[in-house]
Structure 1
Amino acid sequence: MDDCIIIGAGPAGLTAAIYLARFHLKIRLLDAGDSRAGLIPLTHNHAGYPEGISGRDLLQRMLAQAERYGAVREAARATAIERNGDDFVVRTPDRALPARTVLLATGVRNHRPDMPDALHDEALERGLLRYCPICDGYEVTDTKVGVIGTDTHGMKEALFLRGYTKDVTLISPDGGHRLDTACQRALDDAGVRRVDGPCGGWAIEGDQLAFDTAEGRLAFDSAYPAMGSHIRSELAVAARARATADGCLEVDDHQRTSIPGLFAAGDVVKGLDQISHAMGEAGVAATTIRNLLDERAPMRR
């Protein structure tokens, strides 16, 4: 039986694996291979890497560090979490894995524009498509930026990016904008242009990302989808863990969910899209897991 099964191998899951393995615990990391961090072409926002680091390189370094201390990574997707007395069974398509505790670090999935995968990935790699203005808004300073979104969410992202460049356009992804009077006034005051959708005909044209809108074809140095995200909390919710209306798992100050022994960290708890925040939560969760297991059976060497 594993002391802890970690579901998700992004920054939160890997940080927890490093901590828990160094606590001399038996750790299994279930990696479905779809961490959003792996899509980051180059981040300059991660402390300690002044020249930047790709998301994939960061994940590989973190995994190597966890494996150095004995953590076991398994390429598998969890399909269910079940209680078994004080313990758990984590199911994959072909196995039932017993564990004393479980940490869910499955993150979120961004809602993407309706564009071919190959084009999406190339645009992302070239910095023509971006998802995190907090992470990389600095890189679009004084460039031409399009924000694909509407409602309050789209308005807030456009205003945030207005702090980096005066050339910001908010484009509705699927027709006319849904903006109340206050949103319209805030955008007008900031000088943010509004264009109706739908968006289509996506293509990379030179060094810009171009697409069709209700006002014709537009091209931008970078485009930010502000279309929300899906919280990957289904496993915990199916096990009857409490969650907010939008699917974020409810946890206490020590990352404990409403189910004893089930923990959560990272964007599945609060979708801030910040690696540093996810890693901090994972460190708290891992330390709490260690102390819980020590209470149940004191650790001695």
Structure 2
Amino acid sequence: MRPEGPEEPEEPEEPEEGDTRMGIVDTVVVGGGPAGLSAALYLARYNREVLVFDTGHGRSTHHQTNHNYLGFPDGVPTVDLRKLGREQLARYPRARVLGHLVTHAEGDAGQGFTVRSQGHSWRARSLVLATGVLDHFPHFAGWEPYVGRSMFWCIACDGYENRGRSILVVGHTDAAAGEAMQLHSLTDRVRLLTNSASDEISPKFRRRLAAAGIPVVHDRIAEAEGADGMLSAVVTREGRRLELDALFSIQGATPETALARQLGVRLAPTGYVAVDSEQRTSVPGVYAAGDLTALHSHQVTAAVHEGAQAASAANYFLHPPELKAD
């Protein structure tokens, strides 16, 4: 299910000039979040022909306001940042955004790459993968509207706004325990709910939690109370009612690597796409940017930077040999 309220993607178009019948475009960017839009903008400004595939899903379609992006004193809702990015990109006639879901990618730098969706296909000389991650939020009836408003996943993004508030950390691992300890520096009202049949918090972290006065509740969420995206309590399966101001979900995320694996791109031991300092993957002509590339540092600022770097590297890759210094 998708969260309530994000922008609607463009309706998928029928094949027209610009797909395989026209030939081959310079770059296909898969993903229309900050990383993908940044890459597309840079490529457009390099005067490259670029297609962006955006289904309107992902972290940047939730309701959160980003307070870490330089130049927005009051913060900027990520849906607005996406909208501004789309408007900015629309000024470049060689860039287009399509609402197709890309389900398959194949090819190589010698012959070009093909992406497929809904019976259509497009060819490109290079690819930028900006497909992001799938977050594992607690699922209870009506959970989606709370995401980004009172249910968060990132202390760097939303911890500051929750200083002094009652916070429930949800997760059953040492990573969740560590997040609870970090949040304790912002408020002394922190509890941890495993929300799992298993409790994998190590004795070391359990001692640290106890020393900080952070209780651990080994139970699962049955339902939630709240209105207008603001949680007020969760009720567990064993009948506990835990009042709260904010919930931080530390249940992990899965990188969306299906296309990367189809292309034979090397993955890091963490399961994320391995890239070098220029966002190059192990497959020449294929680049990756944004949350897809690292277990940590999932920030809009990092995504925009990586998108720009991937585009610059792709642009250099597309130059003929006589224009290259190496």
Tell me if TM exceeds 0.5: yes
Moved more, 33-42 or 209-218: 209-218
Could you report, residue by residue, the CA deviation over 1:170-212 in whole angstroms, capped at 9, with x for unpaired residues?
1111235221111112212222111111221222178613222
The correspondence of residues 253-268 of structure 1 with structure 2, limited to 5 A, is 253-268=277-292
* Whole-angstrom distance in 1 between the partners of 2:90 and 2:112: 24
Q: What's the TM-score once normalised by structure 2's chain length?
A: 0.86
The answer (yes or no) to whether the contact 1:123–1:209 under 8 Å persists in 2 is no
Moved more, 55-64 or 181-190: 181-190
Moved more, 1-10 or 30-39: 30-39
Identity %: 29
* Whole-angstrom distance in 1 between the partners of 2:268 and 2:208: 29
Letter in 2 for 1:72: R
The correspondence of residues 169-188 of structure 1 with structure 2, limited to 5 A, is 169-175=191-197, 177-188=199-210
Give the match for residue 34 of structure 2: 11
Please state how far the C-alpha of 1:94 moved relative to its aligned partner: 2.0
The answer (yes or no) to whether the contact 2:127–2:285 under 8 Å persists in 1 is yes
- SS of 2:38's equivalent in the other structure is helix
Letter in 1 for 2:137: R
Residue 302 of structure 2 corresponds to residue 280 of structure 1: no
Could you report, residue by residue, the CA deviation over 1:212-257 in whole angstroms, capped at 9, with x for unpaired residues?
2547111110011110001001111122111023320111111111
Residue 225 of structure 2 corresponds to residue 200 of structure 1: no
Give the match for residue 101 of structure 1: 126
The answer (yes or no) to whether the contact 2:66–2:78 under 8 Å persists in 1 is yes
Letter in 1 for 2:183: L
The correspondence of residues 112-123 of structure 1 with structure 2, limited to 5 A, is 112-116=137-141, 119-123=142-146
Distance 1:297 1:91, change over 3 A: farther
Give the match for residue 87 of structure 2: 64
Q: For the aligned residues, what is the CA RMSD?
A: 1.8
The answer (yes or no) to whether the contact 2:34–2:304 under 8 Å persists in 1 is yes
- SS of 1:68's equivalent in the other structure is coil
Give the match for residue 99 of structure 2: 75
Q: What's the TM-score once normalised by structure 1's chain length?
A: 0.93
Distance 1:181 1:215, change over 3 A: farther
Give the match for residue 269 of structure 2: 245
Residue 56 of structure 2 corresponds to residue 33 of structure 1: yes
The answer (yes or no) to whether the contact 1:195–1:215 under 8 Å persists in 2 is no
* Whole-angstrom distance in 1 between the partners of 2:300 and 2:170: 23
Letter in 2 for 1:109: L
- SS of 1:179's equivalent in the other structure is coil
Q: Comparing both structures, which one devotes a greater share of its residues to helix? A: 1
* Whole-angstrom distance in 1 between the partners of 2:115 and 2:37: 18
The answer (yes or no) to whether the contact 1:209–1:223 under 8 Å persists in 2 is no
Structure 2: where are the runs of 5+ without partners? 1-23
* Whole-angstrom distance in 1 between the partners of 2:145 and 2:115: 36
Structure 1: where are the runs of 5+ without partners? none
- SS of 1:241's equivalent in the other structure is coil
